[in-house]
Amino acid sequence: MDSPDISVVIPAYQSEQFIEACIRSVLQHDCVKQVVVADDASTDDTAAIIQRLAEEDQRVEYTTHADGKNKGAGPTRNLAIGVCRYAWIAFLDADDLWLPERFDQTFSVLHAYPDADGVYECLGIQFDTEEAEQQWMERHGYTLTTLQERVEPESLIFSMAPLGNKGWFSGDALLVKRTMLEVCGGYSDLRLSQDTELFMKLAVKGRLYPGNINTPVALRRVHGNNRITTSPERFYAHRLILWKQFSDWCLQEKLHGKLLQKVWLMRTHDILVYVRWVPGNLARFIFTWRSLRPMLHPRWLKTFF
């Protein structure tokens, strides 16, 4: 099928080392008609590099927050989405790369499934140093971010992490309709897991199909400046915020039954994991009660059925 015209969203912050290679990896694709690079108040040469590339190629557009403040990845992506003109949107982080085969299977999936709202594919890794590779493998132990098997769109939310155990996809390897981003409200202002929250909403509201989930179509660059969360306490603290926001969204959207049951169980599990970091037995009891009490209210529980 003919390829659709695509807008690309790139959030950038302190990315002078990587942003040019990132943008050029996008511009190699003729289907890309617009590249919106949103600068999140960088103080290095990120803005100057983007603006130079915009002068070279009219598809590149520079934008930044009107108040000049740093707002995080979620709001910065939303800023760029608001500038996008085309019906399909793809994403890439400023230190990552698209491969020449980025869309080799994507458009055939859209042709095969006219009801598709998006296509997710496989993300690989480029290690910039041996030290970076060693640290990554010690912390994570994997090199592909992908779904481990093909699943139907209606099963995706229960198959992918964090609700499922069949893997997950990255925004670097996602193509989605702009209208679906609008339906789901875009990215939240969570400092961590804002992409996970949005992808869960997309999996619930839209029909996302797998493309190439076996070999990478994009590369995550692992280097010395990567933001890597090493503290389990911090991870679970942010995960509880994620569950709270996603639970509220499910209730707002009147999503009942199996989905709410699974979210309730996962949220309860993570509360009981996080409580170990609360100092003192009395404080642990109070934290657990306050966290679980809203979830035990009959008005909440009846949404299971």
pLDDT of 211 strictly over 60: yes
The angle formed by the CA atoms of residues 35, 41 and 44, to the nearest 5 degrees, is 90
Least confident of 69-78, 139-148, 239-248, 288-297: 288-297
CA–CA separation, 17 and 223 (whole Å) = 11
Provide the Cα torsion 43, 67, 76, 27; round to 10°: -60
Q: How confident is the model at residue 1 (pLDDT cuts 50, 70, 90)?
A: low
106-162 residue pLDDT tens: 999 999 999 999 999 999 999 989 998 998 999 888 999 999 999 999 999 999 999
Instruction: Determine the topology of domain 6-222 in CATH.
Output: Spore Coat Polysaccharide Biosynthesis Protein SpsA; Chain A (3.90.550)
What number is the average pLDDT over the span 186-195?
A: 89
Residue 226, pLDDT score: 63
Residue 139, pLDDT score: 87
CA–CA separation, 290 and 133 (whole Å) = 42
Least confident of 8-12, 23-27, 237-241: 237-241
| 293 or 94: which leads in pLDDT | 94
257-293 residue pLDDT tens: 889 889 999 999 999 999 999 999 999 999 999 998 8
Structure tokens at 53: 């590339």
What does pLDDT average to over the chain? 93
pLDDT of 65 strictly over 60: yes
pLDDT of 229 strictly over 60: no
Among 5, 52, 50, residue whose Cα is nearest residue 64: 50
pLDDT of 175 strictly over 90: yes
Q: Give the H or E element holding residue 236.
A: helix 232-252
Residue 76, pLDDT score: 96
Among 147, 140, 145, residue whose Cα is nearest residue 228: 140
| 296 or 278: which leads in pLDDT | 278
Contact 107, 156 (CB under 8 A): no
- Kindly report the pTM of this predicted structure: 0.93
Burial environment of residue 42 by CB neighbours within 10 A (0 to 12, 13 to 18, 19 or more): buried
What number is the average pLDDT over the span 161-180?
A: 97
Which residue matches tokens 């869309």? Answer: 103
